[in-house]
Amino acid sequence: TQLLEQSPQFLSIQEGENLTVYCNSSSVFSSLQWYRQEPGEGPVLLVTVVTGGEVKKLKRLTFQFGDARKDSSLHITAAQPGDTGLYLCAGVLGSQGNLIFGKGTKLSVKP
């Protein structure tokens, strides 16, 4: 069974702090996707990283794909209460393009 280890599982911080979420695996992925999920809704894609070593920025969010395409990180700068939610990483496997999800990081940003 391929596993995608995501950490931390919970994160509670004050507005303005920085944070990093990690996803690690022993498997090589063709790409890795990050999703954000609000309560009562389905996950929504934030970004897809494809190339080893790739860095993508989305406003205050920075996503990095490891050189060996086995790990990824999400860094949020100056977190805001609107960043609160469940963040999920998902590795894309094989020609079918099925996703293996990490267990998620529940982020709470307090004003």
Name the site residues for other proteins (rule: CB under 8 A): 1, 6, 9, 30-31, 33, 40-45, 48, 50, 88, 90, 92, 94-99, 101-104
Judged by beta carbon, residue 85 or residue 102, the one nearer other proteins is 102
Q: Which is nearer to other proteins, 31 or 84 (CB)?
A: 31
Give least dist CB 78 to other proteins, A.
26
Q: Which of 39, 93, 45 is nearest to 69 (CA)?
A: 93
Nearer to other proteins, 30 or 77 (CB): 30
73/85 Cα distance (integer angstroms): 16
Q: Give buried/exposed letters for 88-98 (b at 16+ CB in 10 A, else e).
A: bbbbbbeeeee
